[in-house]
């Protein structure tokens, strides 16, 4: 039930992403950035000095910097350690007790640590929307698009994108700012989003749009 050791693999290339059925144009002034589960516990199965972890950390950090410069809200999810069995629910059946309260488990990677007005949501289930006020916080800020980054692509990132769609929030899965157990899992998650609930996009294209947005000038 423990997390598997994850072998290095290259992230999807920008010119090899699955075509998205959704054609929503990215609107930086109506979007929010989600940095999903980038805690030490969830990142530990990856090699710390190799792809995909090194690459997604770099890309997420670049997106966060650009988002803050645009006035775009930056949200994080982070689980709490030593959850009560009643709070952990069925996840305990599949994944065991989860993380402890130690900083080496709970802390978000220092390269991606929240700053300023960033908002950290307590994570309870796969989807960031479950038992959180993420939707309320987005609506209050006039945001109708969500950029989904982090780990794991085929679990929490996919569940969050699917639920965003069902709440009429347009999800954008950032292909090279997510990582997974395997390249196959990663590709499956992106393909499902592209076919069923959102847009699959590359970091470089989002950065170009944010840097060209009027609120960033």
70 neighbors 210 (Cβ within 8 angstroms): yes
Separation CA 59–CA 198 (nearest Å): 20
The second-level CATH assignment, the architecture, of 33-216 is 3-Layer(aba) Sandwich (3.40)
Tell whether the model's pLDDT for residue 124 goes beyond 80: yes
Separation CA 163–CA 170 (nearest Å): 10
In this structure, are strands 145-151 and 119-123 parallel, antiparallel, or unpaired? unpaired
* Catalytic positions, written as ranges: 37
Please report, rounded to a whole number, the percentage of residues in the chain having pLDDT higher than 90. Answer: 83
The pLDDT of residue 154: 98
What value does the mean pLDDT of the chain take? 94
Q: Kindly state the tokens that stand for 169.
A: 């929030």
Tell whether the model's pLDDT for residue 215 goes beyond 60: no
Please, what is the end-to-end C-alpha distance for the chain in angstroms? 48
Mean pLDDT across the stretch 97-117?
Answer: 91
Vertex 167, ends 190 and 29: CA angle to 5°?
80
155 neighbors 185 (Cβ within 8 angstroms): no
The pLDDT of residue 83: 83
Q: DSSP character for 29?
A: G
CB neighbour burial string for 94-113, b if at least 16 within 10 angstroms, e if fewer: eeeebbeeeeebbebbeebe
Mean pLDDT across the stretch 100-125?
Answer: 93
The pLDDT of residue 97: 85
Residue 1 banded pLDDT, cuts 50, 70, 90: low
For residues 1 and 53, which has the higher predicted lDDT (pLDDT)? 53
Domain boundaries, the chain: 33-216
Other Cβ atoms closer than 10 A to 130: 14
Separation CA 128–CA 61 (nearest Å): 20
The residues facing 35 across adjacent strands are 76, 149
Separation CA 50–CA 90 (nearest Å): 33
Q: Which of 97-101, 106-110, 195-199 has the lowest mean pLDDT?
A: 97-101
Tell whether the model's pLDDT for residue 185 goes beyond 80: yes
153-169: pLDDT as tens digits: 999 999 999 999 999 99
Tell whether the model's pLDDT for residue 140 goes beyond 90: yes
Residue 86 banded pLDDT, cuts 50, 70, 90: confident
pTM: 0.95
């Amino acid at each position: 039930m423990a997390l598997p050791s994850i072998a290095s693999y290259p992230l999807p290339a920008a010119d090899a992403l699955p075509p998205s059925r959704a054609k929503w144009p990215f609107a930086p002034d109506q979007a929010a950035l989600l940095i999903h589960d980038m805690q030490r516990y969830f990142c530990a199965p990856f090699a710390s000095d190799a792809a995909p972890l090194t690459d997604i950390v770099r890309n997420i950090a670049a997106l966060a910097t650009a988002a803050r410069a645009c006035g775009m809200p930056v949200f994080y999810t982070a689980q709490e350690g030593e959850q009560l069995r009643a709070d952990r629910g069925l996840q305990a059946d599949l994944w065991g007790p989860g993380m402890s309260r130690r900083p080496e488990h709970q802390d978000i990677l220092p390269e991606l640590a929240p700053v300023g007005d960033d908002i950290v949501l307590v994570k309870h289930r796969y989807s960031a929307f479950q038992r959180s006020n993420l939707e309320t916080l987005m609506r209050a800020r006039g945001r109708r698009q969500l950029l989904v980054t982090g780990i794991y692509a085929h679990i929490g990132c996919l569940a969050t994108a699917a639920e965003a769609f069902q709440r009429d929030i347009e999800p954008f899965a950032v292909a090279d700012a997510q990582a997974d157990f395997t390249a196959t899992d990663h590709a499956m998650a992106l393909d499902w989003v592209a076919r069923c609930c959102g847009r699959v996009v590359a970091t470089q294209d989002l950065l170009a749009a944010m840097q060209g947005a009027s609120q960033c000038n």
